[in-house]
Structure 1
C-alpha cells in the first residue's frame, strides 16, 4: 500500500511542480487571476471526478450474509490526446491586464493537464502618473509536459454481505501529509442483486444488480513562493464529492468471470485559494488574503467492461471505463465467500 501511495504523491508532486508559478498570475490583478485559474484548474478537477467514480464493483453478484472482500484499488484516468482538456484559448480581450509578449491577442495555453510551455505574458500600467512599469512572466504548463497523461487514485475498499442480495461497501485512504501535499478520501456504497429475487436464481446464467456509490476527497497543496509574488500560508484546498449510479451484469462462472456496467456520474469540486499573496513588483502591487474560490461540476454517462479471476481467497480484477475521461481500474482482492 505504501508504494501505491508514494506513486500517487509522486504524480501529485509533478502536477503541482508544473503549477508552481501559477501564483505569478496575481501580478495581473485579482480578476484576471481568478478567470485564468478557473480555466486552468477545471480539467484536472473534472478528470478526478471521473476517476473517483470507478472501482465500486467487480461482479454483479453480491456476497451472502457474512461474506466479505478487502480490496486495494488503483485507478488511472487518462487524458491523452484530449487537447480540449489540455489547453484552452486565452483571448486577451477577456482580461483586463494580461497581454501576450509577442503581441498576439489570442492563443492556446496550457491547462493543469497540458504541455504547452514558454508562453510569455506581461502586465503594464502606471505606478504613478507619468511613470509606466511592465512585468513579464511565463504562464504555467501542466503535467503532460512531464510525460504524464493520467491522473492516479488509489484506496482501500471493504465489501460486506448483509441480507440476501444486498452488499454494503466502504472505501478510504487515511489522510497523508507531506511538506507540500495532503490527500485523503472516504466513501460508501450499496449494491443489490436483483436476480436474487428469482425463484431459481442459481439456474440463471447472469447476475444483474444496481450499485450506488459516494466518494469524498480532501486535498491540499502549499504553493512555493515566486520572485514576483510572496506571502504567507499560500495553499489550495480541494473538497470533492462524487456520486456513481450503475447497472451491472456479470457471468456466474467459478474461476474467471466477465462483467460490465452502464451508469451515470455526478460530481462537484470546490477549490479554495487561501493564504496571503503580496504582489511586490509590477504596476498592480497589492496584497490579497484568501482571494477566491473555484467550483467545477461534472456529470455524464460511462460504460465499463472487465474481468475477474478468483483463486480461493485471492481475486484479481481489471476493467476499463469509457466516459469523458476513460479509466483503467485494477483491483487486488482478498475475500471469503
Structure 2
C-alpha cells in the first residue's frame, strides 16, 4: 500500500509540474505562450485523473438496510490511449515560438507521452541590450510511455444504510505532506434504490438505483528547489472538483452478483503557477514575473460500467470496468455488515 501511495504521489506531482523543465525560456518568450503550451500539455493528465477518481463509487444497486455498513479499500486506474499522449502544436497559435524547419505544426508529447525522436522549438525574445534573440530548446517529454499507460488513484471508503433505500457514502485520502508535495482527496455521495420503494421489492430479481457523488482533490508541488529559476515561493497548486451522476442495476443473489450502469462525469481541474520567477533575458538582464499563469481542463463524459461482486460473510470483493473518454478499471476490498 505504501508503494502504491508513493506512485500516485509521483504521478500527481509530475502531472502538475512536469512542464516547468523549460519554463525559464518559455516565460522569456511570453507568459501567453507558456500558458498555452502548459494547458495543452497538462490537460490529458488531469482529465485522466478525473476519470480515475470516480471509479468504484458503488458495487451493487441493492442499497444497504438501516444500520448496514461497509468499509472499503478502493484501488482505481484510468487507461491512457495513444490519442492522449500527443497534441498538435500549431505555431500560428503562438506569438514567439516556431519550429527550426518552419513546419506550421507538429504532433508533440503531452504529460502522458514521449517525443521520439526529440522535438525542438525556436523561442524568440527581446533583450533590452542585444535586441531580438532566438534560442532553441527541446520540448519536454511526459512521464514516459511505459509508466503513463495507467493513472492510479486510491481511497478509503465507507457506506452506511439509512431508511427507504437511501445509502450515504464517503471516501478520502488522508492529507499527505512531504518536502515537495502536499495532497489530499475526499468525496461524498448518496445512493437511492428505486426498487426499495416498490411493493414487490422482495420478489424482484434485480435492484435499480441512482447515485450522485462529488470528489475533490487539493494538491501542491513546491518548485523552489527544482525549477532552476531564481525566485521565491515557487509552487504549483491544483484544485480538482468532479460530479458523478449514475444509474445502476444489479442482481440480488446471496454470493456472486453482477452489476452495471450508465453514468455522466462532469469535472474541472485548475492548476496555478505561483511565486516569483526571475527570468533571464540574455546574459545581463532579468525580469521578475509574479504568479505567471493558471491553466485548467474540463471533462464532460458519458460512461458505461460493468462489474461483479463476491460476498462471503463479512468479506466482499468487487471488480469493475468503465468505458468512457478514459477507460478505467477498479478493484475493491470490503468489510461489511448486512
The question of a shared fold, defined as TM-score above 0.5 by the shorter chain, is answered with: yes
Backbone CA RMSD of aligned residues: 2.1
Post-superposition shift, 1:15?
4.4
Post-superposition shift, 1:49?
1.6
In structure 2, the gaps of 5 or more residues are none
Once the two structures are overlaid, the 10-residue window that deviates more, 4-13 or 167-176, is 4-13
Does the aligned pair in 2 maintain the 1:77–1:150 contact within 8 Å?
yes
1:72 matched to 2:65? The reply is no
Measured in 2, the distance between the counterparts of 1:125 and 1:2 equals 46
Change (3 A) 1:225 1:97: farther
Post-superposition shift, 1:17?
7.5
Measured in 2, the distance between the counterparts of 1:185 and 1:56 equals 14
Give a deviation string over 1:203-225, Cα, whole Å, max 9, x none.
11001111110001111122354
Partner of 2:156: 156
Measured in 1, the distance between the counterparts of 2:129 and 2:63 equals 74
Does the aligned pair in 2 maintain the 1:250–1:258 contact within 8 Å?
yes
Give a deviation string over 1:22-47, Cα, whole Å, max 9, x none.
52322321111111111111111211
Post-superposition shift, 1:194?
1.0
Post-superposition shift, 1:309?
0.6
Once the two structures are overlaid, the 10-residue window that deviates more, 249-258 or 119-128, is 119-128
Change (3 A) 1:130 1:28: closer
Partner of 1:310: 311
Partner of 1:113: 112
Partner of 1:201: 201
TM-score with structure 1 setting the length: 0.92
Does the aligned pair in 1 maintain the 2:17–2:236 contact within 8 Å?
no
Post-superposition shift, 1:286?
2.4
Q: State the SS of the aligned residue for 2:62.
A: coil
Partner of 2:173: 173
Does the aligned pair in 2 maintain the 1:60–1:249 contact within 8 Å?
yes
Measured in 2, the distance between the counterparts of 1:274 and 1:250 equals 47
Does the aligned pair in 2 maintain the 1:114–1:142 contact within 8 Å?
yes
Give a deviation string over 1:260-291, Cα, whole Å, max 9, x none.
01011111112111111121244994221111
Partner of 1:222: 222
Give a deviation string over 1:227-285, Cα, whole Å, max 9, x none.
5x332222111111110011100011111100001011111112111111121244994
Does the aligned pair in 2 maintain the 1:78–1:325 contact within 8 Å?
yes
Does the aligned pair in 1 maintain the 2:169–2:190 contact within 8 Å?
yes
Give a deviation string over 1:42-80, Cα, whole Å, max 9, x none.
111211222222211000001111110001111100113
Does the aligned pair in 1 maintain the 2:19–2:41 contact within 8 Å?
no
Aligned residue runs from structure 1 range 273-284, under 5 A: 273-282=273-282
Partner of 2:249: 249
1:99 matched to 2:106? The reply is no
Measured in 1, the distance between the counterparts of 2:112 and 2:175 equals 24
Post-superposition shift, 1:310?
0.7
Aligned residue runs from structure 1 range 229-268, under 5 A: 229-268=229-268
In structure 1, the gaps of 5 or more residues are none
1:300 matched to 2:289? The reply is no
Change (3 A) 1:128 1:20: closer
TM-score with structure 2 setting the length: 0.92
Q: State the SS of the aligned residue for 2:37.
A: helix
Measured in 2, the distance between the counterparts of 1:129 and 1:176 equals 47
Does the aligned pair in 1 maintain the 2:16–2:236 contact within 8 Å?
no
1:138 matched to 2:147? The reply is no
